[in-house]
Amino acid sequence: MTAFKRIAVLMGGRSAEREVSLSSGRGVMQALADEGFEPLSIDPGDNPGDQLYRAKPDAVFNALHGRFGEDGTIQGLLELMRLPYTHSGVLASALAMHKERTKDVYRAAGLPVVKSIVADRRKVAEQHLMAPPYVVKPVNEGSSVGVFIIRPGDNRPPAALGSDQWTLSNEMMVEEFVPGRELTVSVMGDRALCVTEIVTDLEFYDYEAKYAAGGSRHILPAKIPASVEKDCMDLALKAHQALGCRGVSRTDFRYDDTGAKPRLILLETNTQPGMTPTSLVPEQAAHLGISYAKLCRWLVEDASCDR
């Protein structure tokens, strides 16, 4: 049994994924209460250190998503305060949040990725930096926020990228578009859980598809060849380990089965996967007999410093 009793649940925050984080946090709060913990919610403001100091928790459940919550920032604060916390530590969080740094780690570990370029958003808006089709995305956002697919025949990249009203990162990644199927694998500790295929009727698996009711369908387990399933599981665990992740992570893939030679490509690893009612990690855990509440308990019992 863990010695932790009073658990601060960090939720909300100031990123573009605030609403998703609040949804995750509400679910975690209820689950921890059901498991006999004493959860208290903290919505980080201008001085989260003071908020945590006053709350005096035994441990912290990090249910933040996006910048400041999963990029190593809050993790550094928790390390300084010596508060045990869930999920990945400073370095793994920072690496995984920056999509190009993630690819650097993947490449060094021999994991399959596609060509990508990082450039200022205004330059990306001016001209095609690679032949369409390609994908444009902020290097440091999650939940498919600010993602565009540029298809053959499009005259130019999205004008929104050059707008003064743009509020996301100025640094954008341009990468080869991979056709085929969207697959994802959760890793819990040192165990890959299973493979889910994500199907949506929208243009791609964007923010709405991820979080709106009916926005996507999850096929669990994915109907793919056994060899591809094994490769997905192996690669997700290797990505988790190469980045130095802790607790739970989720790695996303494209399985391109449209040509004569199918290929599996890693897209990114999420160190703070959603814990909302439509989220993939709780769904995969439940498929293996691990309830939402037990998953939350496991994450709290896994909490530590020096992650």
State how far the Cα of 37 lies from the Cα of 197, in Å rounded to an integer.
Answer: 34
211 is catalytic: yes
Using alpha carbons, select from 212, 198, 160 the residue that is nearest to residue 19.
212
Q: Which helix (H) or strand (E) holds 194?
A: strand 191-199
Is the bond leading into 48 cis (omega within 30 degrees of zero)?
no
Is 171 part of the annotated catalytic residue set?
no
Whether 270 is catalytic: yes
Catalytic-labelled residue, pool 134, 246, 274, 279: 274
Catalytic residue among 252, 279, 292, 307: 252
21, 143, 249, 279: the catalytic one is 143
Asked if 274 is an active-site residue, the reply is yes
Residue 197: active-site member: no
- C-alpha angle with apex 51: 277 to 305, nearest 5 degrees? 75
Q: Which two tokens stand for residue 295?
A: 């998953």
Residues 52/7, Cβ–Cβ less than 8 Å: no
Q: Is the dihedral of CA 274, 280, 284, 286 positive or negative?
A: positive
Is 17 designated active site?
yes
Gap between the Cα atoms of 95 and 89, Å rounded: 10
CA dihedral (289, 294, 295, 298) positive or negative:
negative
Strands of 139-188, DSSP E: 148-150, 171-176, 181-188
Both structure tokens of 83: 């508060």
Q: Which amino acid belongs to residue 70? A: E
Of 85, 106, 134, 211, which is the active-site residue? 211
CB environment 234-247: b (16+ within 10 A), e (fewer):
ebbbbbbebbbbbb
Enumerate the H helices of 71-174 as residue ranges. Answer: 73-81, 90-97, 99-108, 121-126
Residues 62, 88, 270, 279: which is the catalytic one? 270
Which residue in 141, 182, 206, 268 is the catalytic one?
Answer: 268
Distance CA 300, CA 241 (A): 20
- Residues identified as active-site: 17, 143, 211, 250, 252, 268, 270, 274
